[in-house]
Structure 1
């Protein structure tokens, strides 16, 4: 297919900018006083043609709510937005970009694809058309770093997921008088012990079974502990492989999860139950008249798997609190999450205007009201969320000291959705220790061209 004129005109400057980035390290200083657009010299954008195409992975009701959230903008701006849903987005976007048939905007569910295209100079840095400082000031702290490559940011969030949520049956907690606001991991452990002592029932509901993807729940647990025990800087070093996967701090995080999950009587069904219970059904026993478990750590999307009668009365049936900090670890409250990142492949006035709206606190009102969507902006009008439960989860992110993107979504695919998943299954079923698990994953980390060159140089 023939590339659009807008793509052809920006491709060469984008590649040039990427090459310059390799030489200079960082053309954008996030802490600079002037965070205005156009710092790298692409110049004035060309005039748009009134049409902007967007490719993303979500469809169905989410697609409908996305389009509804654009209606007022398109009516006022006169820009026609054509959203195309593709369930194979990760592969489709790469094929289209390589063929010179890129959409104007891509909505990436993981930052890894953005990094790959940034390395090849195929995506426009956001400081060319957005005010970096203004955007960063309204986002959940740390979110913008999720698309930073070689010191520069290439995509901005338009939807947030919060993973560090602990769910519990509200009525059972209120009747028992248990602590629903533990501030540290030690207090959370004490709460679990109290629940077991009072009821004789395992406190934790954990399920991993997800067909070929079994293991991803375990990676989330390790990421939670990495953030809390060692902080965001070490976490970043880990997910970008600046420290090896078998670093002692990573091993300690895997062991910390194991201390919780493999403690006798702590999880419904024990180790076997964890692997055999579908992740979507993990908390179902908590809604029985006599709950079979009480605590589940899972993302905000978990509500979609709760029984219908629970979803209909969410605020009365469910309570939540943030997975707490480590008392002797990172001095702050981190939060683990994810989200969709908007990246631009065209540099024209219409595309820039749509990007500014998509990544602003004004986007998403109708989607928020319908449920299932969270804004990454601390300044978003929380009254537009449909219930107190959702508002509370959004507030967790607003009040957190730092946000970090799901690490397995950042790591190379061979690890993030490969050996990390299988390694955690091997750890959970007892066939590997934490040390052996970490070593096996490290041995599977792909060797980059730079690393191979370094190794060859050391051998000479």
Structure 2
């Protein structure tokens, strides 16, 4: 571990040196794009030796974040002051609007970045980071999550992967079923084989999450939208450039319904989906005789597995990528999320930190401790603590396109309200047409972009 940290320190020093000599706009992805309120050719101001950072994570994650900055601080001489705020979304808006913005904000969703970019309050990343070099090592499509009017205003410092199908390794392999389905049709065939070969249901699905019940269902629709219709249509849907009740969205709902509502496909049947806590969904798979076998959920799911499973993850759990649709998007998409770093000041120290945070050199100690994934395909994967984590990272690194969780980008009236509620209604028997139409009614008129109503993106 010492040698890897030493290597990171050398590279960090070079990154800081580059930042301190930076001038001008680096590889603006759209020369005609807006400047976000900052002059495109301005140079960074001198730093004062300190950079303030505001983020949402605390506890053990905060400790690992701070540890991951130690080499940067030592090599650069810059002091990074991190503040954790669980109400980050509200706090960052209040502080920016009151003129008390941190130098850097770590956004758990891109929506806030987009809002501030529209208001000219955040600095485009191409003004401080070599855009082309950054894009070359990032998971394909990640930068699009913070693109506004053709320009990008934040870059990822952490990645989450959602398109994972988990299974109890020993029991599943004893069943002899495929671990590499090439399409959704082949995944359906596996489900039929499990039903034929066992007394169990193939799928473990649980949505219950108190007032947030339904969010798990939104992930399923996002997975199908990406696979059936590809990233361009997905983006149009996510940004309101097509109505929420577009026939292609209805098709995604119905595709999910065919999987979840088919007799015997889900443990407990369709009613159990809403009453089973999402954190408990896969627990029946770890019994000596599993009651279900497959769960589609993000990489954070491991934190809810039984303690003995977590302690021996590589032997207890197997994973495969939620596959593409045979007649849909021609490629393997990945749905995910992550923390995005955005800058509110433009001085040499902030530029240096932004370069480091968004590079493949950041995060070594965090990766070694577990629970953190780098969004860079060039990251040293040997730092991950187990093979399962490496496999999850490779899913994203080798994907054809990455897209951010759409409900985290949509207007809050939709993404964390009517979309969740609509999924509950759909699971309770409402039709896809009814549900999608009701959700579209809640989409704020000012944020609709259908037929060129708005230029924002």
Residue 130 of structure 2 corresponds to 131
1:223-372 paired onto structure 2 within 5 Å: 223-372=222-371
For 2:193, the equivalent position in structure 1 comes to 194
The runs of at least 4 consecutive aligned structure 1 residues that moved more than 3 Å come to: 449-452
What do residues 134-155 of structure 1 show as CA deviations (whole Å, max 9, x unaligned)? Answer: 0000000000110001110000
Query: Partner residue of 1:444?
Result: 442
How far apart, CA to CA, are the structure 2 residues paired with 1:31 and 1:43? 17
Q: What's the CA shift string for 1:154-198, capped at 9, x where partnerless? A: 000000000000000000122111111111000000000001110
Q: CA deviation at 1:29?
A: 4.8
- Whole-Å separation in 2 of the counterparts to 1:302 and 1:176: 23
**Retained in 2: the 8 A contact 1:28–1:152?**
no
Please report how far the alpha carbon of residue 203 of structure 1 lies from its aligned counterpart in structure 2 after TM superposition. Answer: 0.5
The residue aligned with 2:115 is 116
Q: CA RMSD in A?
A: 1.7
* Partner of residue 433, structure 1: 431
How far did 1:31 drift?
A: 7.6
SS at match of 1:211: coil
Q: CA deviation at 1:41?
A: 2.6
Q: Is the 8 A contact 2:27 2:131 kept in 1?
A: no
The secondary structure found in structure 1 opposite 2:203 is coil
What TM-score results when the alignment is normalised by the length of structure 2? Answer: 0.90
Q: Distance in 1 between matches of 2:293 and 2:357?
A: 38
Aligned position for 1:169: 168
Is 1:43 paired with 2:38?
A: no
Question: Secondary structure of 1:82's match?
Answer: strand
1: CA distance, partners of 2:272 / 2:449? 41
In structure 2, what is the equivalent of residue 8 of structure 1?
none
What is the rounded CA distance, in whole Å, between the counterparts of 2:40 and 2:407 in structure 1? Answer: 34
Unaligned runs of 5+ in 2: 1-25, 32-37
Q: Are 1:388 and 2:387 an aligned pair?
A: yes
Matched residues, number? 422
1:221 maps onto 2:223 in alignment: no
For residue 422 of structure 2, what is the aligned residue in structure 1? 423
C-alpha distance in 2 between matches for 1:158 and 1:129: 15
**1:42: Cα distance to partner?**
4.4
Superposition deviation, residue 200 in structure 1: 2.1
Q: Which residue of 2 aligns with 1:155?
A: 154
Whether the aligned pair in 1 keeps the contact of 2:27 and 2:132 (CA below 8 Å) is no
Distance 1:134 1:451, change over 3 A: closer
Matched-pair contact (CA < 8 Å) for 2:183–2:325: yes
CA distance in 1, matches of 2:75, 2:56: 26
**1:23-38 residue pairs with structure 2 within 5 A?**
29-30=28-29
CA distance in 2, matches of 1:371, 1:265: 36
Q: Structure 1, residues 375-395: CA drift from partner, whole Å, max 9, x if none?
A: 000000000000000000000
